[in-house]
Amino acid sequence: MDKQMIYEKLLELVKKENVKVDEMLKNHLYTKLGGKADFFITPTTFEEIQNVVKFSNDENIPFTLLGNGSNLIIKDGGIRGIVINLKELNNISTDGNTIVAQSGARIIDASRHALKENLSGLEFACGIPGTVGGALYMNAGAYGGEIKDVLDYAFVIDKEGNLVKRLASDLDLDYRTSNIDKNKDIVIEATFSLKPGNYEDIKAVMDDLTYKRESKQPLEYPSCGSVFKRPPGYFAGKLIQDSNLQGTSIGGAEVSKKHAGFIINKDNATTSDYIRLIEHVQRTVKQNFGVDLEREVRIIGEDPS
């Protein structure tokens, strides 16, 4: 199927204003990195997603899910096939002590919603700049809390395009990982089980965590958060700091002077700058301390031709 035919078929499946061709991904991602997607679609219903998955299966066209791009680096050559972004599916509602959030909602907004409803449990997520879908995928966590602690179940669209309920225990949630990628599930909605709390107490915790984050993290620049996982027995940031790498830059990418575990997009970095700097940090830490830094952040897409 040629590009024009794929475009015409997508217009039958998703509203015209929600289908873009050769869309620059860096404009949609927190990192402000990444080349073009052949097709960038923002479905507005679960049925639209199901139909796109079935179409891509039938025609053998790859598709890729993007959240807010706060834990993902997309290469400068972009992504072939269909990129699906669920930002239009962002409703959050309350049902007793549970909160139901569509996967394109920001996890920060789910946390604020819980506060408004005097529900406790999502305070840890108040500064994580990802979507609900991305947070489940990564089992996002901070300051002693993680998605695993509060997720009851999720609705996903499986690789055949079926709508399926997955209990939290089905998702193999572990430190910054789940089986969502392996199963090729698309998370579309999550139900969080919370506890009744007191507004002022919940707000005090969130204010404290926000203060800690703002004082330690370089939030004034685009970045992908902590680049590396915590190596057993060490802290990635400390190893990088002790290797005198803070302030080191390649092109527009720089190891943050404020938080050694972050690499910031300081000045219109390309993904290639970013990746070269990540590799430089890994090599230097290995030479100095013999420790392998494993990336937390995913790198996907094509090298530029």
Show which residues are catalytic: 176, 226, 296
Q: Which amino acid is at 153?
A: Y
Instruction: Name the minimum Å distance from CB 4 to ligand FAD.
Output: 27
Shortest distance in whole angstroms from residue 96 CB to ligand FAD: 25
- Name residues contacting ligand FAD, limited to 152-211 (CB under 6 A): 180, 186-187
The token duo for 103 is 């996967």
Mask 217-256, x = binds ligand FAD (CB under 6 A)?
x-x---xxx-------------------------------
Per-residue tokens: 170: 């089905």
> Which of 288, 298, 304 is closest to 241 using CA atoms?
288
CA 69 to mean position of chain CA atoms: 5
129 binds ligand FAD (CB under 6 A): yes
Judged by beta carbon, residue 30 or residue 192, the one nearer ligand FAD is 30
Site for ligand FAD in 14-43 (CB under 6 A): 30
Q: Which of 53, 65, 206, 236 binds ligand FAD (CB under 6 A)?
A: 65
Given a contact cutoff of 8 angstroms between Cβ atoms, the answer to whether 70 and 129 are in contact is yes
Which one, 257 or 283, has the nearer CB to ligand FAD? Answer: 257
Residue from 192, 202, 190 nearest 89 by CA: 190
The residue from 131, 243, 265, 271 that contacts ligand FAD (CB under 6 A) is: 131
**CA angle at 272 for the pair 56 and 257, rounded to the nearest 5°:** 120
Closest CA to 190 of 109, 100, 85, 104: 100
The conformation of residue 240, written as its DSSP 8-state character, comes to: H
- By beta-carbon proximity to ligand FAD, the closer residue of 8 and 160 is 160
CA–chain centroid gap for 176, Å, is 11
CB nearer ligand FAD, residue 139 or residue 284: 139
In whole angstroms, the minimum distance from the beta carbon of 242 to ligand FAD comes to: 22
| Count of beta carbons in the 10 Å neighbourhood of residue 143 | 15
Site residues for ligand FAD per CB under 6 A: 30, 65-72, 86, 103, 128-131, 133-135, 137-138, 140-142, 180, 186-187, 217, 219, 223-225, 298
